[in-house]
Amino acid sequence: MSDSNIPRFSIPDKKGYFGSYGGVFVPETLMTALTELTVAYEEARADPSFQEELSHHLKEFAGRPTELYFAKRLTENVGGAKIYFKREDLLHTGAHKINNAIGQALLAKRMGKKRIIAETGAGQHGVATATVCAKFGMECVVYMGAVDMERQALNVYRMRLCGADVRSVDAGQKTLKEAINEAMRDWVTNVRDTHYILGSALGTHPYPMMVRDFHRVIGVETKKAILEREGRLPDEMVACVGGGSNAIGFFHEFLEEKDVKLTGVEAGGYGIKLGQHAARFEGGKLGVFQGCKTYVLQDEDGQIELTHSVSAGLDYAAIGPEHAFYRDRDRIRYAYAKDDEVLEAFQVCCRTEGIIPALESSHALVYTMKRAREMSKDQIIIMNMSGRGDKDVQQVAKILGESEIDV
């Protein structure tokens, strides 16, 4: 995917801003490395041999292209617009995250960096990174909050099986935010031989742009497939938004298609009350957090609020800066889904389609079903099925009180 396919308005300015969002807010010691990374990335992006190698691994290792799937029984069940799923859940390691992990690992190799570090919350990004490092023979260190390590023991073991050094972070709430801080600390110390593979379209420039570019393939494939299947573009597209990488990758190719509505769905948790959710556009304010300027859940003094979501992958206090930019321009709309609705949609999808969706993706499903019901039968809505729900089955069983299942 060369630069020429990327609309001008979506290229951040020299200081890394999309409009007034984004930028570079990092310790002085990282500035040289970030400039180096930006230059190396821009060269790689324009280099056909890099793009070719990337495409090769996306196909052979990750399993691209993914299917565009017509959810026939769900469509009948809802009784409105035709519902399609873009099946990122079918990728190796179970979610879209592998697209970015492969892209950044190849870039690190190109830059001569032999050591990879990453952060992970639920463990999905950590697993994607660990597998890719094993494949390319790179050293891999993953920082993970102690609480998350306990909750996601299986993912910790997966990473270790692939040879990653998973390091427990004991500060603060012992979750994703602290893991990112620790990864940054490592990077500052080891920047000469180390590349930091950040897991979402977040943080300091050039990450939001770079991570988005590595996920653009989702939308490019979707456009091609829907034109083949239906001979026209969809009326609406829906994706869940944690940091925002699957959504921005899915939407990006459609930003200039003015007749296609784009909707991102955040985590409404128990409802929009202080500390009970992770819907940054509902309860958040403009602030600077972990590298960039964006919408952040914070109190009057700028202290980061506690967040809650049934889905670990959406449970983060900040949203990717490019999302804030399109929200201002009214190009992408945002909604939220609450935990109880999410669990309901999760079960409906299992029963009608035989597809177990990730709890993250189930947020998008709540809104997709709501909207499809309001639309007519000749309309089309496509949802990005960002990942599979195998990782969530134990948690769902526990919440639904299936005591006969040994969890």
**Binding region for ligand PLP (CB under 6 A):** 95, 97, 124, 200, 240-247, 313-314, 358, 360-361, 386-387
Cβ-closest position to ligand PLP: 387
Residue 231: exposed, middle, or buried by beta-carbon count in 10 A (0-12, 13-18, 19+)?
Answer: exposed
Residue 287: exposed, middle, or buried by beta-carbon count in 10 A (0-12, 13-18, 19+)?
Answer: middle
CB of 7 to ligand PLP, least distance (A): 21
Nearer to ligand PLP, 191 or 217 (CB): 217
Nearer to ligand PLP, 191 or 346 (CB): 346
Beta strands 17-18 and 21-22 are antiparallel
| 53 close to 106: Cβ distance less than 8 angstroms | yes
CA distance 237 to 243: 18
Nearer to ligand PLP, 116 or 201 (CB): 201
From 182, 208, 289, select the one nearest 10 (Cα to Cα).
208
CB of 350 to ligand PLP, least distance (A): 16
Beta strands 285-289 and 292-296 are antiparallel
CB of 130 to ligand PLP, least distance (A): 14
The catalytically annotated residue of 82, 97, 113, 391 is 97
The catalytically annotated residue of 119, 236, 266, 322 is 119
Please indicate whether residue 386 is annotated as part of the active site.
Answer: yes
CB of 244 to ligand PLP, least distance (A): 5
Nearer to ligand PLP, 94 or 234 (CB): 94
CB of 198 to ligand PLP, least distance (A): 10
Cα→Cα distances 174→165, 241, 274, 358, Å: 18, 22, 20, 23
Using DSSP, state whether 269 is helix, strand or coil. strand
Nearer to ligand PLP, 191 or 341 (CB): 341
Q: Which helix (H) or strand (E) holds 38?
A: helix 31-46
Please indicate whether residue 97 is annotated as part of the active site.
Answer: yes
Residues noted as catalytic? 97, 119, 386
